[in-house]
Structures are given as C-alpha cells and as structure tokens.
Amino acid sequence: MKPIFAKPTFWIGLLLRVALVALVIPHASQVWYVPFMEVTSRHLSWDPWAVFIQAGGAERAFPYGYAMWIAFLPLTWAANLVHLPTAVAYGCTLVLADIALLFTLRALFEVKDRLLLALYWLSPVIIFAVYFLGANDLVPVALLCSSLLALRERRNRLAGAICGAAVSAKLSMLLALPLIAIYLYRNKSMRRHVAEFALGLAAALLLLEVPFFLSSNAVAMLIHNPELAKAREFALGIGNDRTLIVLPVAYLLMLYSCWRIRRISFDLLHVLLGVAFFLVLLMTPAAPGWFVWVMPLLVYYQAMSARVSVALVSAFSIAYIFTALLTSPPPVIMGATLEQTAHLGMDLHAHPQAINIVNSVLIAFGLILVWRIWREAVRQNDYFRLSRKPVVIGIAGDSGAGKDTLVDSIIGLLGQHSVVRVSGDDYHHWDRHKPMWQVMTHLNPRANNLERFGADVLSLANGRSVQARHYDHASGKMSKPHTVASNDFVIASGLHALYQPLLRERYDLTIFLDIDEGLRRYFKIQRDVHKRGHSLEAVLASIEKRTGDAERFVHPQAAHADLVLSLQPIHPRILKDPSDDRPLRFKLVVSSRHGLHEQSLERMLVGICGLHVDTVLVGDESTVEMTIEGETIADDVAMAAQHLIPRAAVLLDQPPRWEDGIAGLMQLMVLSHLTQALQKRLK
C-alpha cells in the first residue's frame, strides 16, 4: 500500500491549501487573529492578551487560551525572523493542523487512504471554512481527536492532558468532557483508568486554563466574544417574561440518553461527540468555523454508511458554503474583496430573505443527517443494541470436567467487573453432611433447587438483582443469603445448567464440557483431594456412585449445546500408570452445530499458533468437529483472535487475560462462538 504522501489526491489538496494561503486573506485573520499574533510574537509575555490590549488592539480579537496561542507562535516567530507576512505564518500553521487532523482521523477510523482523502482532505467545508473564512477551529478539533486516539491506545494521562489542551484552545470543547466521562465510567474495563485521565486533564487545565482566567484582559476578550452569546439565542417563550433556552436542555437530554447506555464502545463515543457538536450547530446561529467540529463525525459516517450518506453530506456542504457566503465578511483575494473580484456589482449581504432560505435548507439537511446518524450509527450499532440487556452464557458438564476453570478463563477475557457468575453448586438442597446424600447424588436434579437456579438466572438476565447463597466446598455448608447484582455478562455453570428448556431458550450461548472419562477422574481426584480436602477413598466412592446419574441427567445435555469442548489425553496410558512421570499432553476436540468459521480458524491455528488441526463434518454434515493438538502461548492465541474476530475487541477487558495452551484455545472457541451468537441475537 502506498503511503498517503504518495497519493496524487494528497498533493492536489495540499497545493490547493498552499495557493489559498498565498492568495487569500480571510477577514477574521486580517482583522483579529493576525494582528494579535503579530503583536504578541514580537513582545512575548505570560499575558499576551494584556500586551495586545495595551497596544490598542480590539477586545474581541483572540478569545482563545494558551494552547491556541502556542500553536500559532512558532511559525509566527519564525516569519518575523525572515520578514515574511504574519498572515502566511498563520495560514501555514492551519495547514499543519489540517495535516495533523488528517493523520489522526486515519489512525482513528482505519479507512482506506483514498476514501479518507476524498471525504476529508478535499472536503469543501474544511477548505472553505479554514482557508476562505480563516476559522482556526482545526486546532482544537485536532487536539480533541488526538486525545481520543490516545484514549483508545490506553495512554490515559496523555489523553487527559491533550483534552485539556483542546479545552484551552477553544472553550467549546468542554462539551466533550461529560461524554468522555460517561464513556470511562460506563465502560467498566475503562473505569479504573478514570483517575489517570483526570490527572492528565487537571494538569493541563491547571497549566493552561487557570492562568488564562487569572488574566482580566483574557477574560474580557472571552466575554466580548459574540459567539459566547449564541448559545442562548434559540429560546422559547413560556410566559411571564420567561424563556426556555433550547440548547442546554437538548444537550442535557442527550447526556441522559448516553448515560442510559449500559456500556459505550469507542466507536459510539466519537459518534456521540459528533452528535453533541451537531446539536450546537443546529440550535444556534453557528459561526462558520463551528462546522469544522462535525467533520470527523461526517467522515466516519460517510466511510461506514451507504452512498446516500455521501449525497446528503455533499448537499449539506453546498448549503453551508452558500450560507457562509451570505453571512460572513468576504475575504481579500489578491488584494481585492470577493465582490470586487467577481464583479458582482451587488452586496451579497443585502438579501435577508435569501439568507433565511439558504440557512433553512442547511438546517434541514443537518437535521436529516443527525437523524440518520442516530439511527444508523447509534441505534443500529451492534454494541448499543447488545448493551440494552445482559449477555447470558450457560455452561454444563460432569463433575470435574473443568466448568469453574472455563468460567475463570472467560472472566479473564471479559473482566471480573463485567461478569456475574451463577454456580449450580450454590443451589444444592442440603449441606454436605445431611443424610439425604446417602441415597441421592448431586447429579440428580431433585437434589438441587433448579427452580430457584433458573429463576435467579432469568432475573439476572433481565437486569434484576437476586438473593443467593454460596456453597463453601471446604466446610460443606451454605452461606447466608446475599445480594447478587446483574451485570453485562451472566455466566451460569453447573451440572444442570442446560437441563431446563426455559433456560436454554434464554441463553445466548450454550456450552458443554465433555471430558475424557479417565482424564475426568484424574482431575476430580486432584481437585477434591488436594483443593477441597476430601479423602481419596471418599472421592473414588463418589465417582462410582455418580456414574449412573451422570449418564442419565448430565451427558444428555450435550445435545442442547451450541459448542461442545472435549478435552482428551494424547497418551491415555499415562493415566493408568501412577509410576509414569511423563507430563500429560492433551488434545482439544471442538464440536459445533453452527460452524466454527472452520477454514479461517484452521488457518489461524496453523499459521499463527503452530498447531496441528484436523477438521471433519459429522452426522448429517451439519456439525463441524475440529481436533487440535500442539502447544501454544497466550500471545499467539490473542493474535489469532485479533485476526479472526476483530469486532470482539469491544467485548473484552482492557487488557484481556489470555491463557496458554488448551485453556487459551477454549477461550478462543468460546469468544468466536459468542460473537456469532450475538450477531444472531441482533437479527
């Protein structure tokens, strides 16, 4: 793939920008920004606003913070040294900010370079707002997008610091902070990083924003900025000389809607940020530069949606240009105003009716875009739809089959903070020492309160808390009831987890552990004797006693499982010879009624993990059976998952805990099936 600098489209856009910087002097730059930078760069001070005011400058020239001033300072200072016009330095700084935003969007959205160049680099909104009208909003938007990129890469302190710089560059970037806070808090894998982000944010605001507000001249410029008053211009009269300002109401309602989302993915975050900025555009007489705020959202929406989105954004862009032409002071082009250059012979701003019509068209297209973005990028987003109710997994298997081990490994992927587990052991009718166990085994459904087990799982699946007990394997006694809260994922495991038809219908994914009998006995002895404190004789007697109930009540549940994981020894004779000290080696047999993406999965397991894989179709060829042998490490399994199911990353903890060997392969199979099951749930 060619680097972006090798694309002709990039150079066309760059040459166009350079030509506009050389030939066009926007009104805002000429009257406000360039004079401010020219004066303050020649008389450096900790309070550049005071320097400019004392030099007789306008009080509304530069209502921005230190981050904006520092961004323009290097090239302005360099231009002074070589006697170049400050306007050229100002324009070149905007070009650099433009390039920075281009590469940040490239990293954020991971779209093809050709598409990104067409949608952003050649966007008429960017070119017109920045290089014809002189809007400097590229700087705070580039900073905010860089903050999001750092946040996605888990560089949380840096993300907070850059976000603080964005707020310093333009105070309106404060609109993003509540949404980022909701994202960090509601996404439980990120919640523990809130303090890191807040530390970086606080440091940046302390360094850049506090000194700004300590300057009376800086505050005066901010107060005299007419853009500040635009937030309250869209208001509704409610009688008795009272008005309802619409923008804050709409913004707070949006924040509430975001808060109700159980878990916000990163893609949802930057869509919601863009929608928040769009609300400002549509509910205020927005300055032309403000439209730069929504360009990252529009680029993402066009890249991910159908062609109609490109048509809508194109119409919106055309309406924006006409509106800006009619409402903004014209730039100076090669020493002449736009009217003089075009020989129009009329005042573009003397037709209020035309302005109203064009502005109405702009708002209409904007509303259509917001509605479609909310419908397609938010309401139909897989993660948004999945977040409305918990994901439920059912895991069954015989005693000693490794149910708890599998649950622990799944929790390692999804995160302890996002999972509630329901164990069938907690629903035995009696403590271990009760005489009823002399005539009935734990494998008999009548020995367990399956009615309560099912009711609790269904309640948790519906988002409700339950009162449950816990069975202590060391003492053999039940604890007092305690509250168990629902969570994003509910994992129900036990001897009879797939026994009840009503529960099977509610599970999003059903798993059965079908371990080799000799291996199961070996593991059960290791667990019950060494971990649970039982005698060897009692464990062997229990195994023999339970065989009939296992065949009758447990093993038939495999027929109801979406995924069957069977752990088998490669050399079974080792289990029969206590003197054989060779390490146990295993193979994993995976059976699925719904398919395993077997061709892609086989390529990943062989090519990345270096495993031996045999795949066959069994029965009526509706079931795929895969036998996997070999040794692998957690990093290889994680890489295979990233290639095979990249969309599953939004479900995982940050970082997920992958396991080595067979346990890691089971994690991969479960995650692959879970993503398939969730896609089925969304249909």
Q: What is the pLDDT of residues 291-311, one digit of tens each?
A: 999 999 999 999 888 788 899
Helix (H, G, I), strand (E, B) or coil at 439: coil
Helices 307-327, 352-373: axis angle to 10 degrees equals 150
Q: Can you give the pTM of this predicted structure?
A: 0.83
Residue 263, pLDDT above cutoff 90: no
Average model confidence (pLDDT) across the chain: 86
Most confident residue range from 168-177, 216-225, 520-529, 613-622: 168-177
Confidence of residue 351 (pLDDT cuts 50, 70, 90): low
Number of domains, the chain: 3
- Do residue 360 and residue 488 come from a single domain? no
Q: Are 611 and 628 in contact (CB under 8 A)?
A: yes
The dihedral built from the CA positions of residue 169, 175, 180 and 185, taken in this order, carries a sign that is positive
- Do residue 435 and residue 466 come from a single domain? yes
More confident residue, 25 or 683: 25
Q: Report pLDDT digits (tens) over 409-456.
A: 999 999 998 899 999 888 888 877 777 766 677 788 888 889 999 999
Distances (CA, A) of 375 to 298, 305, 379, 381: 14, 11, 5, 9
- Domain boundary (365, 385, 405) is at 385
Q: What is the pLDDT of residue 585?
A: 81
Q: Which of 331, 356, 299, 269 is nearest to 28 (CA)?
A: 331
* 561, two tokens: 């499982």
Round to whole Å and give the CA distance between 678 and 507: 11
Q: What is the pLDDT of residue 602?
A: 87
Q: What residues are paired with 119 via a beta bridge?
A: none
- Do residue 144 and residue 236 come from a single domain? yes
Q: What is the pLDDT of residue 93?
A: 96
| Average pLDDT rounded to a whole number, residues 368-393 | 76
The values of phi and psi at residue 458, to 5°, are: -65, -40
Residue 471 is assigned to a structural domain of this protein? yes
* 583, two tokens: 């390490």
Q: Are 281 and 255 in contact (CB under 8 A)?
A: no
Round to whole Å and give the CA distance between 427 and 430: 9
Round to whole Å and give the CA distance between 201 and 164: 5
Q: Are 160 and 199 in contact (CB under 8 A)?
A: yes
Confidence of residue 345 (pLDDT cuts 50, 70, 90): very low
Q: Report pLDDT digits (tens) over 252-262.
A: 998 998 888 77
Q: What is the pLDDT of residue 91?
A: 94
Other beta carbons less than 10 A from residue 630's beta carbon: 17
Residue 113 is assigned to a structural domain of this protein? yes
Residue 51, pLDDT above cutoff 90: yes
Residue 98 is assigned to a structural domain of this protein? yes
- Do residue 332 and residue 447 come from a single domain? no
More confident residue, 306 or 637: 637
| Average pLDDT rounded to a whole number, residues 146-170 | 95
Q: Are 315 and 302 in contact (CB under 8 A)?
A: no
Residue 78 is assigned to a structural domain of this protein? yes
Q: What is the pLDDT of residue 592?
A: 87
- Do residue 367 and residue 397 come from a single domain? no
| Average pLDDT rounded to a whole number, residues 388-396 | 89
Q: Are 208 and 66 in contact (CB under 8 A)?
A: yes
Q: What is the CATH classification number for the domain harbouring 437?
A: 3.40.50.300
Phi-psi region of 215 (alpha: psi -120 to 50; beta: other; left: phi over 0): beta
Residue 527, pLDDT above cutoff 90: no
Residue 543 is assigned to a structural domain of this protein? no
Q: Report pLDDT digits (tens) over 85-133.
A: 999 999 999 999 999 999 999 999 888 899 999 999 999 999 999 999 9
- Domain boundary (385, 409, 431) is at 385
Range of the structural domain that residue 458 is part of: 389-512
Q: Which of 492, 637, 670, 489 is nearest to 565 (CA)?
A: 670
Distances (CA, A) of 478 to 111, 273, 322, 468, 650: 55, 49, 74, 10, 37
Residue 281 is assigned to a structural domain of this protein? yes
- Do residue 369 and residue 393 come from a single domain? no
Q: What residues are paired with 492 via a beta bridge?
A: 394, 422
- Do residue 121 and residue 205 come from a single domain? yes
Residue 137, pLDDT above cutoff 50: yes
Residue 338, pLDDT above cutoff 50: no
- Do residue 313 and residue 178 come from a single domain? yes
Range in 8-22, 295-309, 373-387, 413-427 with the lowest mean pLDDT: 373-387
Confidence of residue 526 (pLDDT cuts 50, 70, 90): confident
- Do residue 179 and residue 291 come from a single domain? yes
Q: Which of 148, 144, 151 is nearest to 169 (CA)?
A: 144
- Domain boundary (385, 405, 434) is at 385
Residue 524 is assigned to a structural domain of this protein? no
Burial 393-414 (b: 16+ CB within 10 A, else e): bbbbbbbbbbbeebbbbbbbbb
Q: Are 484 and 460 in contact (CB under 8 A)?
A: yes
Helix (H, G, I), strand (E, B) or coil at 421: strand
Round to whole Å and give the CA distance between 413 and 54: 61
- Do residue 280 and residue 409 come from a single domain? no
At which residue do the structure tokens 């649970």 appear?
Answer: 532
- Do residue 96 and residue 152 come from a single domain? yes
Q: What is the pLDDT of residue 14?
A: 95
Q: Are 86 and 191 in contact (CB under 8 A)?
A: no
Residue 393 is assigned to a structural domain of this protein? yes
- Do residue 422 and residue 375 come from a single domain? no
Q: Report pLDDT digits (tens) over 573-598.
A: 766 665 556 677 888 999 987 666 77
Q: Is 40 exposed, middle or buried (0-12, 13-18, 19+ CB in 10 A)?
A: buried
Q: Are 182 and 262 in contact (CB under 8 A)?
A: no
Indicate the DSSP class of residue 331.
Answer: P
